[in-house]
Amino acid sequence: MAMSQSANLAEKAMGHGDNAVTEQDMTNPARDRAKYGDPSETMKALAWMGKNDVQMVETNKPKIIEDRDVILKVTGSTICGSDLHLLHGAVVELQKGDILGHEFCGRVDSMGAGVKGLKEGDRVVASFQIACGECMYCKKKLSSQCERTNSNTIENAMYGGRTAGMFGYSHFTGGFAGGQAEYVRVPMGDVNLLKLPDDVPDEKGLYLSDVLATSWNCVVDTGVKEGDVVAIWGAGPIGEMAAEMSFTNGASRVIMIDGGAASWRLDFCKEKLPKIEVINYTDLPRGTTVTSRLKEMEHGGPDVALECVAGEYAKGWAHYFEMLLGAETDTSEIINEMITSVKNFGRCGITGVYVGFTNHFNIGSLMERGIRLIGNGQAPVHLYWEQLLQMIREGKTDPYKMLTHRVKVEEMDIIYKKFDAREDHMQKIFVQTRFSDPPAKGSPALTTYKS
Ligand SMILES: NC(=O)c1ccc[n+]([C@@H]2O[C@H](COP(=O)([O-])OP(=O)(O)OC[C@H]3O[C@@H](n4cnc5c(N)ncnc54)[C@H](O)[C@@H]3O)[C@@H](O)[C@H]2O)c1
Ligand SMILES: [Zn+2]
Ligand SMILES: [Zn+2]
């Protein structure tokens, strides 16, 4: 946490780069009402107020500040596992009052004169990243790595390059207000919004924003192919959809690993995807490790390992304390488990979020056994979303497999706590606002928590 705030100070001292073509650090219209806020209306939004503290706030509706802006009436949003990293303060450069949320869909409320191909009332989904559409990466649709929407200097120095700007994901990725709100401003809306056809309800189309593209990227970027045995760490929404999509890509076996407070997720995934096999790491007998169990299940271990957890979740005390003391930002335990588990020359893909540096990395096993370790990156949504929309329409991927709850935006502060504690068997939620349509056929009915 101290690191998060010192990164804010360092960023201030060093100043932003000059690469961004869109306004930076507009994480809440109330930051500068006159410049960013529409005086005619207020809105409800979920704001980060400090470590493990998110609150509902009443703030200004955003207004158009650039020619290619679209203001959306949000009709659906959700919480991602990545939002928990913000809640926990694991991601640096958050500021009090930042509006969160990077997966959302809605209807066009208004737009700047430079927006082509959209009109008021259009139903659209946003990509979690903000891309310019024209730079070297955008030309290849590698939208998550756009060079022109994030001018953060700390990220550039730490990583040797920047990611694109992202909605509701701290000043480290540009400082954009997110979509866990009633309205949201989408910069370069003609590039970062995809129209949803009438046969795809919000309750399915919303997930093109992030989880579907991320799971698909995890599977194809790590190279899951016909006949592969795939092990997946983490049975959250990303791991679950990566399991479904591994089968789509021809995997012969998929083994999911999870445990602790989220053990129920293994049963949940098994119910939705009966072909999967599971390992509950908290139930393993003394002397049996995830690696040894995987080798018992498959000679030599799986061909492919997919990381759908995150570096902030230490398994043992050693890494817990190293992180607490600032000796590392991320644990190496899960990646080491993946490396030692796969067959020699096996592949390991990392999709779960890792922020900085890790200790005790098993580089020996990686080198000697020829393991291919692949950072999957923030998923380039634009590369995949049209194909994935088609897959939804043809029933080749089904977001309802992970969707368990429909909740109200007004209750998001409570929902964050429940989702974080893995309570109420909350796998993936759909957040409605006053602008949402009634629940689509086959999607969950509304659950309310405040009386
Ligand atoms: N790369 C991208 O573009 C991208 C996009 C979206 C999400 N993500 C990341 O993907 C990860 C998964 O997302 P999610 O929404 O499914 O998150 P989630 O938090 O809902 O699920 C993570 C799961 O990992 C499990 N887990 C914890 N420690 C474990 C261990 N040692 N072994 C096995 N499982 C363990 C947890 O119990 C939990 O069920 C998160 O880190 C998220 O930030 C990345
Ligand atoms: Zn996400
Ligand atoms: Zn770009």
Contact assessment for residue 182 and residue 99, using Cβ atoms and an 8 Å cutoff: no
Residue 172, Cα to own-chain centre: how many angstroms? 15
Contact assessment for residue 26 and residue 177, using Cβ atoms and an 8 Å cutoff: yes
Q: Which residue has the tokens 């909740």?
A: 407
pLDDT in tens, 168-185: 999 999 999 999 999 999
User: How far, CA to CA in Å, does 320 sit from each of 55, 74, 222, 255, 345?
Assistant: 27, 38, 28, 26, 30
> What single DSSP character describes residue 167?
B
Ligand 1 atom index nearest CA of 262: 37
Higher pLDDT, 451 or 415: 415
* 84 ligand 1 Cβ < 6 A: yes
If you average pLDDT over residues 429-433, what whole number do you get?
98
* 334 ligand 1 Cβ < 6 A: yes
- Identify the three-state secondary structure at position 391: helix
Tokens standing for residue 306: 């997919």
151 Cβ contact list (under 8 Å, min separation 6): 16, 17, 18, 19, 20, 24, 162, 174
* 262 ligand 1 Cβ < 6 A: yes
The number of CA neighbours under 13 Å toward the Cβ of 123 is 16
pLDDT in tens, 117-152: 999 999 999 999 999 999 999 999 999 999 999 998
Element (H, E) at 283: none
pLDDT in tens, 179-220: 999 999 999 999 999 999 999 999 999 999 999 999 999 999
Phi, psi (degrees; rounded to nearest 5) at 76: -160, 135
Contact assessment for residue 30 and residue 37, using Cβ atoms and an 8 Å cutoff: yes
- End-to-end Cα distance, the chain: 34
* 290 ligand 1 Cβ < 6 A: no
If you average pLDDT over residues 226-245, what whole number do you get?
98
pLDDT in tens, 4-18: 677 888 888 888 898
Cα–Cα distance measured from residue 265 to residue 242, given in angstroms and rounded to the nearest whole number: 14
Q: Supply the pLDDT for residue 3.
A: 67
Residue 73, Cα to own-chain centre: how many angstroms? 21
Ligand 1 test: best mutation among 78, 79, 80, 291, most atoms within 8 Å of CB?
Answer: 80
Measured from the Cβ of residue 128, the count of other Cβ atoms closer than 10 Å reads: 30
What domains does the chain contain, in order, with CATH numbers?
A: 2-210+380-432 (3.90.180.10), 212-375 (3.40.50.720)
Contact assessment for residue 234 and residue 211, using Cβ atoms and an 8 Å cutoff: no
Q: Indicate if the pLDDT at residue 1 is higher than 70.
A: no
* 380 ligand 1 Cβ < 6 A: no
Ligand 1 test: best mutation among 85, 167, 353, 422, most atoms within 8 Å of CB?
Answer: 353
Q: Which residues pair with 106 in a beta bridge?
A: 74, 124
Helices (H) and strands (E) in the chain, counts: 16, 18
Instruction: Give the pairing of strands 304-307 and 229-233.
Output: parallel
